[in-house]
Amino acid sequence: MAVTLADVALRAGVSITTASRVLARSRTVSPGAQAAVERAATELGYAGNGVARALRRQRTDAVGMVVPSIRNPFFTALVDAVERTLQTTGRVLYLCDARDDVEVEARHLRSLVARGVDGIVVSPCADDRSTAAVVEAAAHVPLVQLDRHVPEPVADWVGLDDRVAMDLVVGRLAERGVRSAGFVTASIANSSTRERAAGFADACARFGIRTDPRWTVPAAFTIADGVDAGARFVELGTDRPAAVVCADDLLAIGVTHALVAGGLRIPEDVAVTGLDDLEFARYVTPPLTTVRQPTTRMAEEVLRLLDRAPSTDRTPGVRIALPPALVVRASA
């Protein structure tokens, strides 16, 4: 039999009205009554009617999150950071995996809006092809973009300063005397990959590091694609660059595997760098030089933006680019 509010009130020795006020956090009651009701609710396992409470408060205490692929460990880390931050506010997270498909992404966004979530966090799969769905969702629910953003300034964004990240990586290579570098990046256009590609080119020009169109390899953010990219550099023989900069750690791990399998030493023959500082980046051989993303700070900024009170003079499209940190290990 389900536990009722009356059962809680009886156990706590208070009126049903008082029990309701405590559990709904609607009015202040005496500390003794509050403690008694909360203790009784815990002991009895009272869950309450969340739907009715949400209708009364016009809040669901739920935030939706849509990521391109939960299989990518970086997005897993972002989800963890957002969920941990939400826990401190008593809210829950509804997680949706777009599976790198803009149509799936659009369906998830529409579903979250229909469910009446209090806000949405989204890392769009692609640039233009994700725009319509993001614009539609942002018109109905507070929405913040995380890591990636669509071209239209319809919603706030929090992410890494990707150009600074590339500057740190290329600067490290220059310090080691590297004079030529290749770049392995995502084949699907999104804001992060565009900024990283532009940052890589600018930094190489500034530090005097030579690049070549043959040394830019498009790929998916997977270890397998990194292996394929690394094999292409092995096939170049003496025409290969002295370093390979990768747009994320998964690609860097795959590139490393292929280079070593091809008989090359890292970093003596080819230096390799990644980006994200995934948990296992330090455990690969050799440990990966990479760039750490401030995921906890990102999550805090996202929730701060979601919780801003709406106003007639609020302009969407705030951009918060957080600084990265270079993590130097043995690969470069």
Task: Supply the DSSP string of 98-141, one letter for each residue.
Answer: -TT-HHHHHHHHHHHHHTT-SEEEE--SSSHHHHHHHHHHHTTS
pLDDT at 320 over 50: yes
Quick one: average pLDDT of 144-163?
Answer: 93
pLDDT at 311: 54
In the DSSP assignment, the letter for residue 270 is: -
Query: Of 9-23, 101-115, 181-195, 211-225, which range is least confident?
Result: 9-23
Return d(Cα 71, Cα 244) in angstroms, integer. Answer: 24
pLDDT at 153: 84
Return d(Cα 260, Cα 232) in angstroms, integer. Answer: 13
Return d(Cα 102, Cα 98) in angstroms, integer. Answer: 7
pLDDT band at 239 (very low <50, low <70, confident <90, very high): very high
Which positions ≥6 away from 157 have C-beta within 8 Å? 144, 145, 146, 149, 317, 318, 319, 320
Return d(Cα 280, Cα 225) in angstroms, integer. Answer: 18
Quick one: average pLDDT of 207-220?
Answer: 96
pLDDT at 312 over 60: no
Return d(Cα 233, Cα 255) in angstroms, integer. Answer: 9
CB distance 241 to 272 below 8 Å: no
Beta pairing class for 92-97 and 181-186: unpaired
pLDDT at 158 over 90: yes
Please state, rounded to an integer, the average pLDDT across all residues of the chain: 90
% of the chain surpassing 70 pLDDT: 92
Q: What is the gyration radius of the CA atoms in the chain, in angstroms? A: 25
pLDDT at 316: 66
Alpha helices, DSSP H, located in 122-248:
128-138, 162-175, 191-207, 223-235
**Coil, strand or helix at 266:** coil
Q: Which residues pair with 144 in a beta bridge?
A: 121, 156
